[in-house]
Amino acid sequence: MSTERLFADDTPVPVLALGTGKTRTGRLWTYVRDDRPFAGRAPPAAFYRYSPDRKGERPCEHLAAFSGFRQADGYAGFDGLYATGRIAEAACWAHVRRKFFDVHQASGSAIAKEALDRIGALYAVEAEIGGRPPDERRRVRQARASPLLAALKSWLDATRARLSGKSELAGAMRYALSRWEALTRYADDGRLDIDNNAAERAIRPLALGRKNYLFAGSDAGGERAAAIYSLIETAKLNGLDPEAYLRFVLDRIADHPVNRVAELLPWNIVGDEIRAAA
């Protein structure tokens, strides 16, 4: 929570409804710190929280101690975070692109294809500046991405006026234009990314998990799952084999001084230590 920028996302998780033989829907939320794209020094980390519902008050509770930029999709439940003034929204171009991609895949629309090409040009700029310092990323974006963004907005405004307001293509354009300030914020700050893919990658293992364990046994089970996912995914982000990392920690934690437990966090363990212990 001390970072300047967090990625965020959430996904449903089935939870056993005791006494009914059925499941209800809870949520697992992820908050990711990954400063590697702008050569930041903070180690990457993924933090998961469970909640029994998807109310907007949940992320407000989770991020009560955070201030800075939050990169996420356009879920309306996040609006309460931005209303505090502590958190600024940075929206996700991958979500915008996906809407045009779906239209193009379904209909072969030439307009959707042009939108994809224009967004692709923005990503081409990003491909060249990954891992560079924030000031350099900002300079390149100002010189190359900002003109592309201005041209894209003019094109969206002009093209949407010719479309039926009920079409999926018009809906994709409205989604982008209604979030334009948040979508273009990355061009003015080299610490921000063009999309929220870091959080989406952290959500992906949960989808695989649902196919294996099928459901959480209770709300307490969901909370325990969130804690274990936090350790496993953070270990992976720091280049550790999660099974070997957990074995390493479990072998030591009983005798480890409680006031030094942070020494066992994934970014404080190197792979050589784990291999030597094995």
Task: For residue 87, give the 3-state DSSP assignment.
Answer: strand
Tens digit of each residue's pLDDT (9 = 90 or more) over 56-76? 999 999 999 999 999 998 888
Q: β-pairing, 68-71 with 5-17?
A: parallel
Cβ atoms of 116 and 108 closer than 8 Å:
no
Please state, in angstroms and rounded to a whole number, the distance separating the CA atoms of residues 47 and 106.
36
Mean pLDDT of the chain: 94
Distance (Å, whole) CA 143 – CA 149: 11
Give yes or no for a contact between 203 and 9, defined as CB atoms under 8 angstroms apart: yes
Non-local CB neighbours of 15 within 8 Å, separated by 6+ positions:
23, 24, 25, 26, 52, 215, 216, 217, 218, 219, 221, 222
Tell me the pTM. 0.91
The sign of the CA dihedral 6, 12, 16, 18 is: positive
| Reported confidence tier of residue 80, pLDDT bands at 50, 70, 90 | confident
pLDDT in tens, 209-220: 888 888 899 999
Q: Which amino acid is at 35?
A: D
pLDDT digits (tens, 9 = 90+) for 98-137: 999 999 999 999 999 999 999 999 999 999 999 999 999 9
Sign of the torsion formed by the C-alpha atoms of 8, 124, 138 and 152: negative
